A and B are shown apart, each in its own frame.
Chain A
Amino acid sequence: MTNVRYTKDHEWISVDDDVATVGITDYAQSQLGDIVFVEVPEGGKSVSKGVEAAVVESVKAASEVYAPATGTVTEGNGALGDAPDTVNTDPAGEGWFFKMTLADAAEIDGLMDQAAYDTYLKELDA
């Protein structure tokens, strides 16, 4: 079954068996506005939890996307190169950034689940 978790930096990670998919949340894309450029890691790259793994840019802002967990990238979403707007229109689906294998599957247990993330967003708005 799929297990989706969230970071305080508004990345999501969805773990399905032994493959995890990473993207940014709807809240993150709405804060950034129109996304014009995405740089995703290539397959084979090692990433560490909390360390920059991808870049997302709007016209007036550039943000780092941090790896929610440590592991190895298996695939970057090359389709975003030509269609960065997919991150705006479908951040939780087609707008994913990269897929990875986890070094330690238990690592994501420390991240927020949907309910905790919703509460976190409410606190941010308050």
Chain B
Amino acid sequence: MRYLPLTEADRGAMLSTIGVDSVDALFSELPTGDLSFDLPDHQGELEVEQALTAFARENISCADAPSFLGAGNYRHHTPASLDYLIQRGEFLTAYTPYQPEISQGTLQTIFEFQTQVALMTDMEVANASMYDGATGCAEAAAMACRVTKRNKILVSGGVHAHYRDVTQTQLKHIGLTIECLAPDPIGIEDLIGRIDDDLACVVVQNPGFFGHLVDLSPLAEECHSHGVLLVVCVAEPVSLGLVTAPGTMGADIVVGEGQSLAGPASFGGPGVGLFATREKFIRQMPGRLCGETTDEDGRRGFVLTLSTREQHIRREKATSNICTNSGLIALAFSIHVTLLGEAGFTKLAAINHANAVTLAERVGVLAGVKVVPQNFFNEFAVTLPKPAADVVDELAVKGILAGVPASRFYPQYEELSNVLLVAATEMTTEACVDALVAGLKKVL
């Protein structure tokens, strides 16, 4: 067995040191029972590779088809050095930096990540990561309730359906009231009129699930005049290179999904939850935090800090039960942002927007097709003259991944059946758009 170093001779010598006859004797306390597993025996590297490759071949890779898929998960180019660096064993095979003297590499990268996320969202502090955007959203809503000592949460219909669902699920047993507004493809819901003194927070997404870009400043102002926190979700962090940051518009907590900058979609996971807030709220934050300090020789170094918020110390009174987070994906996110730098990050965002504008112009003129949002970043909803799910299936047969039908999230809303979400990134070439336009012309 290639991953097991012990030889039979080793085992024999070790058993005699321990004073038992066999390895099985070490398990004598376990109950005996049926261990006839319906599973194969071990296989060599070649056989495993063949088996996994067979799974892969049954999928259409987004690399092999024009893809307009988004809805919270975006396909971007990642530089080769990014994947090389995160595969360095010292990053890949280390664990949580519990021993700071031998974990300064991980700790400094977390410190840099926290700084990058704070700058990108224009917030004061960020944590070391959550599982993903959706769970981060739930944690943000719970944190807002702790900060405000209120228990009512209002979720906009422009928030990603999965973020909304996870928030509802995760918070349903702790005495909170969560009001989720109906999906809002047109972008007309009135949040300001719903703010009152009982509310802990309003959760919105910008750009919204259907693509809308909204100036959140008036909402933030109304929230703050009632002691309500504004939680802003960012499902596409590339937008932060071009669009006014949530912090600038008055957000109190910003959560996001970092996958789009961290690497491939990987069928939606693992991603990385971004979580940023204002300094005055840090003791109510969930998740790990890395802080700067000095060592015994007075040299700058980093440690995990403010741990008394966390489950391993506070147990049932912790701010969250999270332990393992998304460290490696956070590192990938951070390395990509470092590679891009200010100039690259803002340019990448500009390219994404320009390609999306082009896409809107090209599909918006097709008969019966209407681009819904006036303002958007790299994704927007369109209405089609027939059910979007059918269009997607018909185009998939032609090798085009045309986007995500809104009905996938909202099957119960008849009025959304013709709504399709389409995204464009720097990977969306003119040929991709030509293919989609030609395909739509055929199936509509």
| Docked complex: B77-108 residues within 8 A CB-CB of A | none
Please tell me if the beta carbons of B283 and A62 are within 8 angstroms of each other in the complex: no
User: How many residues of A are in contact with the other chain, CB < 8 A?
Assistant: 7
Q: Smallest Cβ distance from A37 to chain B, in angstroms?
A: 7
Chain B contact patch, size range? under 10
Which of B308, B313, B314, B317 is the one whose CB lies under 8 Å from A37? Answer: B308
Give complex CA distance A37, B307 in Å: 12
Q: Which residues of A contact B313 (CB under 8 A)?
A: 60-62
Q: Which residues of B contact A61 (CB under 8 A)?
A: 308, 313
Q: Smallest Cβ distance from B114 to chain A, in angstroms?
A: 19
Which of A58, A59, A62 is the one whose CB lies under 8 Å from B314? Answer: A62
Q: Smallest Cβ distance from A118 to chain B, in angstroms?
A: 30
| B interface SS class | helix
Q: Which residues of B contact A (CB under 8 A)?
A: 283, 307-308, 313-314, 317
Q: Smallest Cβ distance from A112 to chain B, in angstroms?
A: 28
Whether A75 is near chain B, meaning CB under 8 Å from some CB there, is no
Q: Which residues of A contact B (CB under 8 A)?
A: 37, 57-62
Q: 13 A-B contacts, Cβ less than 8 Å apart?
A: A37-B308, A57-B308, A58-B308, A59-B307, A59-B308, A60-B307, A60-B308, A60-B313, A61-B308, A61-B313, A62-B308, A62-B314, A62-B317
Give complex CA distance A59, B317 in Å: 16
Interface centre among B283, B308, B313, B314 (most CB of A within 10 A): B308
Q: Smallest Cβ distance from A85 to chain B, in angstroms?
A: 15
Give complex CA distance A114, B395 in Å: 84
Q: Which residues of B contact A59 (CB under 8 A)?
A: 307-308
Q: Which residues of B contact A60 (CB under 8 A)?
A: 307-308, 313
Q: Smallest Cβ distance from A34 to chain B, in angstroms?
A: 12
| Known pairs A37-B283, A61-B313, A62-B314 / 5 extra A-B pairs, C-beta < 8 Å | A37-B308, A57-B308, A59-B307, A61-B308, A62-B317
Give complex CA distance A59, B310 in Å: 12
Q: Which residues of A contact B317 (CB under 8 A)?
A: 62
Q: Which residues of B contact A58 (CB under 8 A)?
A: 308
Give complex CA distance A37, B314 in Å: 14
Give complex CA distance A60, B313 in Å: 7
Q: Smallest Cβ distance from B96 to chain A, in angstroms?
A: 15
Q: 5 tightest CB-CB pairs across the interface, nearest first?
A: A62-B308, A57-B308, A62-B314, A62-B313, A60-B313
Give complex CA distance A105, B313 in Å: 36
Give complex CA distance A62, B307 in Å: 9
